[in-house]
Structure 1
């Protein structure tokens, strides 16, 4: 895996939080990475946190209540600092302890859960921020290596059968049920793993966005290993 990500036109690499939030997406670049090597024992934090559901939100108070070693404390300080930086920026960061996300098993011909390649959509100008501190990390995919699932003929036909309404309302139906957000990797596509420790900013589909939204997916979790993920 390329540790600098700089070989990928899709990715801008920066070295400070200020650069992360102030660098403009342009051309095919729709992901920006604050590239960093984090010290600290994030596994120790995960081992002490209590999983209440498959996804448990962890508050700063929860972190501060942990009795940690020097390395564990270093990891805690990094997480708290990231949360503060994003909060001061005006974002609403959430720290999640994850066993797994819900799977979408309702339709056998199209998946619309976060394990499927997808883009995020927002009615307002915003971006997605994420950082994996522990466990498997997300993947992104260059836009030219993916195909919107609703444009794949056999999937589109089945969605039309499911819609069972006027043709004029079909596109609205696709948006209302988020089918249009999901993508299929083309043959020989090469997903890029975001790795742990880096803080990422991904372009979202919204009216003022100048670039294509970033296609990404949640990883299949490593067996028995929880993920610790910051996202907003």
Structure 2
């Protein structure tokens, strides 16, 4: 297995979908990248789609209905194929046209929205798959370069001030409100951008997981530009 991200122990690089789903996470490696240089005009698809809300789910029939140029058609076939591969694998992929995600502005000392570095958690064994076809792409960061926000003394103190239950249930309070999923990056941290066209598999926090979950975040969108993102 070649490694396009040379010297990075967190990321493994594969060259096919079967490799992507069958390669095991191990050690520090909690992100796998099917590295691709895609042809096709994904911008043409984005400009023809209608955004109804900040996040609009795009269905295969929506794509099929578009009148596209040759390059636009190539892009469409790539997306439809990715959706089919993931569906056949047993996943439930969603193609989203994104203006922006909802912001969490309830507290000034901790954020729990997707723009904050966070991990995904699931009660069952699963992984997060994502591919950005157009627009700004997500970032990941090594677990050694970030700290769980609930462990930072000043943040933990403020969370305890919010909580009014018995001390032994404070941990449940943190989990129920997703505070424990969010991370603060170190000052010298170097986030890695996931780029366009690559299909990624990221480790999720679940009972059978053998590696640390992958810390990631949604990007700040480029002004006046929608994102086209496959995720499941």
Give TM-score, length-normalised by structure 2.
0.98
Q: 2:123 & 2:13 partners in 1: Cα distance? A: 27
Q: What is residue 221 of structure 1 aligned with on the other side?
A: 221
Secondary structure (helix, strand or coil) at the match of 2:47 reads helix
- Give deviations 1:103-136, integer Å, cap 9, x for gaps: 0000010000000000000000000000000000
Secondary structure (helix, strand or coil) at the match of 2:95 reads strand
| Pair 1:121-2:121 in alignment | yes
Q: Cα distance, 1:14 vs. partner?
A: 0.2
Q: 2:7 & 2:221 partners in 1: Cα distance? A: 27
Secondary structure (helix, strand or coil) at the match of 1:189 reads coil
Which structure 1 segments of 5+ residues have no match? Answer: none
Consecutive aligned runs of 4 or more in structure 1 exceeding 3 Å deviation:
none
Secondary structure (helix, strand or coil) at the match of 1:129 reads strand
Count of residues in Structure 1 that have an aligned counterpart in Structure 2: 230
Q: 2:12 & 2:221 partners in 1: Cα distance? A: 27
| Pair 1:80-2:88 in alignment | no
Aligned-pair Cα RMSD in Å: 0.8
Which aligned pairs between 1:1-232 and structure 2 lie closer than 5 A? 4-232=4-232
Which structure 2 segments of 5+ residues have no match? Answer: none
Q: 1:178 & 1:5 partners in 2: Cα distance? A: 31
- Give deviations 1:77-127, integer Å, cap 9, x for gaps: 000000000000000000000000000000010000000000000000000
Give TM-score, length-normalised by structure 1.
0.98
Q: 1:77 & 1:90 partners in 2: Cα distance? A: 20
Q: 1:8 & 1:21 partners in 2: Cα distance? A: 20
- Give deviations 1:28-83, integer Å, cap 9, x for gaps: 00000000100000000000000000000000000000000000000000000000
